[in-house]
Structure 1
Amino acid sequence: MLARIYRPAKTAMQSGKAKSRSWRLEFEPASARFVDPLMGWTGSTDMNGQVKLNFDTKEEAIEYAERHGIAFRLHEPQEPPLILKAYADNFATNRKVSWTH
């Protein structure tokens, strides 16, 4: 039973970073999914796939996994570089790109 600890990315519906600062512990699938022949739905016999635990910090998630004897894999997030822009940059005299309109 292997778990992964990661920080989820923000959804496409968000412009800010709300709900993306917490850390999540999820179990990796232990068995493959199957298709129900009658309805065509996907199913699984793995109940740990439904467990998603949220933690405030990475250390809390690691401590929980170690305390309960859960093997885990840690995925560190890749932070994009912060590019500061100002509205006044549109009118700068030393613009490197010409106006498009």
Structure 2
Amino acid sequence: MTEAVPRLDATSRVVAARDQVSADLDGDAVILNLADGVYYGLDAVGAHVWALMAEPRTVAELRDAVVAAFEVDAATAEHDLLELLRDMAARGLVEVRG
């Protein structure tokens, strides 16, 4: 991991970092971090979240979208989402804006 991970909670606003390119692969996503040349893969849930982050969104908005689209309760969705976003932020794939 390359960067310090900012504090994240339900009110944090996140957006996909500019220094990357991504592609949809049959519902999954592949992201190339242009800063380090590393590819990352996301499953269907991660790809859904990634697509939503083309525009700044709060963690709560992302959680609610995941709950609406997949069979998961809000607490589990938020926990898993925060874990994913922390990892993505540490790798420079996501910008946290407060």
Give the TM-score range, shorter chain: under 0.3
Using the size of structure 2 for normalisation, the TM-score is 0.28
Higher strand share: 2
Larger Rg: 1
Higher relative contact order (Cα pairs below 8 Å, separated by 6+ residues): 2
Higher helix share: 2
